[in-house]
Structure 1
Amino acid sequence: MKIVGLTGGIGSGKSTVLTYFKELGAATFIADIEAKQLMNTNAELIKEITFLFGSEAYKNGILNRSYISEIVFNNKAKLAKLNALVHPKVRAHFENFTKTTKAEIVIYEAAILFESGSHNLCDYVITVTADFEERIKRVMLRDQTDKEAVMQRIKHQLNDEAKVLKSDFVITNNTFQSAKEQVKTIFEILLKLN
């Protein structure tokens, strides 16, 4: 089994690329979705997050994401503490996931793969890139938000150049057809690697 990290900036098209890998037979694990699920279901994590952010962290038993986001986007120390609580739980969940899959290739998708240290779980890393303006347009359309809000989120992510330097493969996702072809090529290469 090969564990392959998949990352890229907001709007780069990681989800689309992940779908292409899944179509080829890879098992897929989306760290962000798993993290959100664990923050709502893991009793220990709920207790720790409530202790860190106060009783407003949860509304009717569900994580108050807008409240938490407002705090962590303006307080790097709180963000680091939140990540220190969540990432180990996601890693443990991923390790269990890898024990139950029979796929030759497992894709671990995470927006903050390098920032969280999760790239250390991976045999190879792929970064998905796209033209900057295209990324902004995609996020504005997807999230029904304005350019300023998108730029704020981009500012909090490691830039593409830094990710590319740390990666084994790069997929340029400016058109879906081109991205699909690149995924197929990389998938075939991965199958042949020891």
Structure 2
Amino acid sequence: MTIVGLTGGIGSGKTTVAKEFKKIGVPVYIADEEAKRLMNRSKVIKRKLIDLFGENAYIDDKLNRPFIADIIFNDTMYLQKMNAIVHPKVARHFEKWTLKQNAPYVIKEVAILFENGGHTQCDYIITVIAPIEVRIQRLLKRDDTTKDKIKAIMKNQWSDKEKVKLSDFVIENIELQNTIIQVNEVHDKILQNIA
């Protein structure tokens, strides 16, 4: 099975691009969604996160996301420790999911694909880019957040320039119709490459 990594900085529009690939029949695995599910379902992960962050890590048996976000974006050591707990479980889940897919290739959408070394397990990499100001405006509209919080998250992610250097394909996601055209072009190129 050919594995295509899909990544991009926060607010670049990875989810939009992933949806367009889904529409043309490509199986898409959203690693962040699975990580959220596992953090709420897995007893082992829960226990380890409570050990790491304390009893406030969960409220009513649900992950206390704002509490954890405040900690991890102010101290990268906590972010790395949390990733070391969650990412191996997500990787195993992805492997099982891949075996059930019947398609020429699958997409694994991961926000921090390069930062966590996941790009080394991909046959191709697509990076979604957009100007920083556009990304900030999208996030301010979408999330209950501030510019400072967004910039703190961006600081923990590689720059577009670094990601693009290691990518096979780049999709500039500013205007939807143009993004859809680029998705179809990339899809055709991947199919040609794996034929």
Q: How does the TM-score come out when normalised to structure 2?
A: 0.96
Write out aligned runs for 1:121-132 (5 A).
121-132=121-132
Output the amino acid matched with 2:93. Answer: H
47-56 or 86-95: which moved more? 47-56
Extract structure 1 runs of 4+ deviating beyond 6 A.
none
Q: AA paired with 2:138?
A: R
Q: Which moved more, 1:16-25 or 1:74-83?
A: 74-83
Partner deviation per Cα, 1:94-148 (whole Å, 9 max, x = no partner): 0000011112221100110111111122110000001221111111111143333
- Quote the Cα distance in structure 2 between the aligned partners of 1:73 and 1:17: 26
Listed as ranges, the gaps of 5+ residues in structure 2 are: none
Report the 3-state secondary structure (helix = DSSP H, G, I; strand = E; otherwise coil) of the residue aligned with 2:126. strand
Q: How many residues align?
A: 194
Matches within 5 A, 1:1-194: 1-194=1-194
AA matched with 1:94: F
- Distance in 2, Cα, partners of 1:146 & 1:87: 27
Taking the aligned partners of 2:97 and 2:141, their CA distance within structure 1 comes to: 33
Structure 1 counterpart of 2:55, one-letter code: S
Distance 2:44 2:144 in 1: 34
Q: Distance in 2 between matches of 1:127 and 1:157?
A: 13
How far the C-alpha of 1:44 sits from its partner, in A, is 1.0
The amino acid that maps onto 1:143 is D
Q: Secondary structure at the match of 1:193?
A: helix
Q: 1:67 to 1:144 in 2, by over 3 A?
A: closer
What is the CA distance between 1:65 and its match in structure 2? Answer: 1.0
Cα distance change, pair 76–150 in 1 and its aligned pair in 2 (3 A): closer
In structure 1, distance between residues paired with 2:66 and 2:145 = 15
TM-score (norm 1): 0.96
Q: 2:144, 2:69 → 1: CA distance?
A: 17
Gaps of 5+ in 1: none
**Percentage identity across aligned positions?**
48
Pairwise CA RMSD: 1.1
Comparing 64-73 with 18-27, greater Cα deviation is found at 64-73
